[in-house]
Chains A and B, each alone.
Chain A
Amino acid sequence: MSVIATEGLTKRYGTRRGIEDVALHVSEGSLFGFLGPNGAGKSTTIRILLGFMQASEGRATVLGHDCWRESAVLKREVGYVPGDVRLYSWMTGRIALRISGRIRGRDLTQRGGELAERFGLDLSVRADRMSRGMRQKLGLLLALAHEPRLAVLDEPTSGLDPLMQDELADVLREFAARGHTVFFSSHTLSEVEQLCDRVAIVRDGRIVADESIADLRARARRTVVLHFDTPEHAAKTAAPPELVHVERTGRLWRAQLETDDPRAFARWVAAQPVADFSLSPPNLEGVFREYYRADDDGGAT
C-alpha cells in the first residue's frame, strides 16, 4: 500500500511555477528521501500533502485520505516538522507535549520524555529562550512523540549539530524498523544517501528521478582529477569516451568516469603527459549533480 500517492500534482502561484505534474508513491515502512535544491518545490509538495495548500491540478492521498478534504483525519496519523520550526513564545516542551497530547487524545509525556532525553532537550525552557537547534528538537518531538504512521520531515537536520544529526538518523531508522514511514526532505545528498532506501529528486518543480538508493549506487561514477604537465597539454588532449562532464581549468581536468572497470582508463592516463591524477571510489554525487545540473540543453538526463 502507498502511504503517499500523488498523480499529476500541480501547484501554480498565478503565473509563477510551484510544482508540475508530481507523481510520488511512497510505500509503508520506507525511509523515503525527497531531494532537491532550494526552491525546487519540496516544501510546496509537503504543504499540499498535509492539506495546508490546495493543488491547482492532480490528486494526492496520504494513508488513503484525500489531502485537502480529509486533512484533519490524516493528520491524526502523521507527524510533521516544518522547514523552519517556529513555536509559540510561551511554549515549553512540557506544555507542548501536554497540549499536543490533549489534541491527539493520548498521553505523550512518556514517549516525549524519552525522545527529549535522546535529543538532549530540556523540556522546561520557553520557546522564546531556545536556540534554533532546541526549537528544531522540540519540533521533532512534536512530530514523533505520538508514534505516527508517517513522519513528514522538511529539512529536519537544519540547526542540529553533527552528533544530533546522527542521533536523529538512529531514531528514524528505529522508527522505520517498527513499520512506520519517513518522508525525509533535504537538499543535502549525504544525509539522504546515508538514511534513505529510496529517493525522489525534484528540480524546477518536477520529479526528475524516483529510484532506490541501491539502483542509483549501481550507476554511480568515479570522480577523476588530472593534473597535466602544462596548460597547453591540458588544452590539446582529447578526452576518452568514458570520461564525461570534463571541466578544464588551466592544467587541471575534473571529470566523471563512466565505466565499471577503471583499468583501461588507467592505461590511457599512463600514456598522457600527466603529472598527477586521482580517482575516487564510485559515489552518488555525480549522479545527483547530473540531475541537479542547470538545464542548459533542454532536460534532465
Chain B
Amino acid sequence: MRGLVEKILREMLIPTLLFALGLYTVMAILTFVLPQLQGGIGSILEQLPFVKTFIGALLGTEIGDDISAQMFQAFLFVHPVVLLTTWGHAVTFCTRVPAGEIDRGTIDVLLAWPLSRGKIYAVESVMCLATGLFVLATGWLGHLTTVGGMPDDMRPSGIGVIWVYLNFFALYIAVAGLAFLASSISNRRGRAVGAVVAFIVASFLLNFVAPFWGPARSVDFLALLTYYRPAEVLANVEFPLRNIAVLLGVGLTAWAAGFGVLSRRSIATA
C-alpha cells in the first residue's frame, strides 16, 4: 500500500498544496475585507436590489433590508471562489482513477500490479478525504489568520464555524463521491469532469433560482447546495445534522455505485 500512496502523492501533492494555498489566501482576504464592506452594503443593496437576491440565494436564506454581521460572515463560506477551489480539488483528485488513467493509457501499469480494484479504490478514497480535509483545514487557517482584526460583534462563534466546516466537508464528500462515480463509468477524464461540473453548475443554478421561481422551488431538494446553509448554522449555532446526513448519503451512495461499476467493468485502454 505504501507504493500506491507514494504514487498518489506524486500525482496530487503539488495540486493539493496549490489548492490549499489558494483557499488559505482567499479565506484570509475575505475574512479581512468583508467587515470593511459591511458599512457600505446597505446603500449598495438600495441601489442594486438584485445584489440582495444574489447574496440571499448564495446564503440560502431570506435577507432583510440590511445584512446582519453574522450573515455577512456566512458569505465567507459560500463565496464562489471558496466553493470552486474545494470542488476543484475534489474533481481533480477523483477523476484521475480510472478515467484519467484509461485516457492516457497508464491504467495498464496500475492494473499490472498485484492490487485489487477494491484496494485501489479504497486507497484513492482515503487519500482524497485526507487531502480534502487538509485543503479545508488550510482554508480555516486562513480565516483564523485574519479573524483577529475583526470587530468582536462580527466574529462568528467558534462552535458555529466548526459546524459550518463539518457541513462544508460533507459537501466536499458528496462532490467527491459523484466525481468517483463519473470517473468509474467513463473512459475519458474530460467527460467525467464535464459530467460532474455540469451537475454542480445545475445544482448551483437550481439553488440560485429556487427562491424566486416556483417550479425550481419544487425540485430544489435535488440541489446539493440546498443542504449547505452556513448562514442558518451561524445564526442558530445548531448542528446541521439533517443536511450533513443528506450530503453524506449522496456521497456514500455515489461512492458505492462507483465502486460497483469499477469492480465489474472491463477495462481496455482507448
Instruction: Say if the beta carbon of B190 comes within 8 Å of chain A.
Output: no
Contact count A vs B, C-beta below 8 Å: 79
Do A103 and B4 touch (CB < 8 A)?
Answer: yes
**Given the interface contacts A52-B267, A76-B114, A103-B113, does A88 sit within 8 Å of B4 by beta carbon?**
no
Report Cα–Cα, A101/B111, bound state, in Å.
Answer: 15
Do B116 and A142 touch (CB < 8 A)?
Answer: no
B1-35 interface code vs A (CB 8 A; 1 in, 0 out): 11110110011000000000000000000000000
Do A54 and B266 touch (CB < 8 A)?
Answer: yes
**Given the interface contacts A90-B11, A99-B7, A102-B3, does A50 sit within 8 Å of B111 by beta carbon?**
yes
B156 → chain A closest CB, angstroms: 41
A96 → chain B closest CB, angstroms: 8
A32 → chain B closest CB, angstroms: 19
Instruction: Say if the beta carbon of B43 comes within 8 Å of chain A.
Output: no
Report Cα–Cα, A71/B263, bound state, in Å.
Answer: 11
Instruction: Say if the beta carbon of A73 comes within 8 Å of chain B.
Output: yes
Do B2 and A102 touch (CB < 8 A)?
Answer: yes
Give residues 98-154 of A contacting B (CB, 8 Å): 98-104, 139, 142-143
Do B7 and A88 touch (CB < 8 A)?
Answer: yes
Q: Which of A44, A75, A84 contacts B112 (CB 8 A)?
A: A75
Chain A: interface residue total (CB-CB under 8 A): 33
Nearest A residue to B264 by beta-carbon distance?
Answer: A54
Main secondary structure of the interface of B (DSSP, over half): helix
**Given the interface contacts A52-B267, A53-B266, does A101 sit within 8 Å of B108 by beta carbon?**
no
Q: Which of A73, A86, A95, A100 contacts B113 (CB 8 A)?
A: A100
A10 → chain B closest CB, angstroms: 13
Do B6 and A86 touch (CB < 8 A)?
Answer: no
Report Cα–Cα, A47/B269, bound state, in Å.
Answer: 10
Do A75 and B113 touch (CB < 8 A)?
Answer: yes
B150 → chain A closest CB, angstroms: 42
Report Cα–Cα, A104/B10, bound state, in Å.
Answer: 19
User: Which residues of the partner chain B approach A139 to less than 8 Å between Cβ atoms?
Assistant: 109
B94 → chain A closest CB, angstroms: 18
Instruction: Say if the beta carbon of A228 comes within 8 Å of chain B.
Output: no
User: Which residues of the partner chain B approach A88 to less than 8 Å between Cβ atoms?
Assistant: 7, 10-11, 106, 109
Give residues 22-46 of A contacting B (CB, 8 Å): 44
Report Cα–Cα, A6/B3, bound state, in Å.
Answer: 32
Do B106 and A86 touch (CB < 8 A)?
Answer: yes
Report Cα–Cα, A84/B105, bound state, in Å.
Answer: 8
User: Which residues of the partner chain A approach B116 to less than 8 Å between Cβ atoms?
Assistant: 71-72
Q: Which of A47, A51, A73, A99 contacts B268 (CB 8 A)?
A: A47
Q: Footprint of B on A, CB under 8 Å?
A: 44, 47, 50-54, 71-73, 75-76, 78-80, 82, 84-88, 90, 95, 98-104, 139, 142-143
Q: Footprint of A on B, CB under 8 Å?
A: 1-4, 6-7, 10-11, 104-106, 108-109, 111-116, 119, 264, 266-269
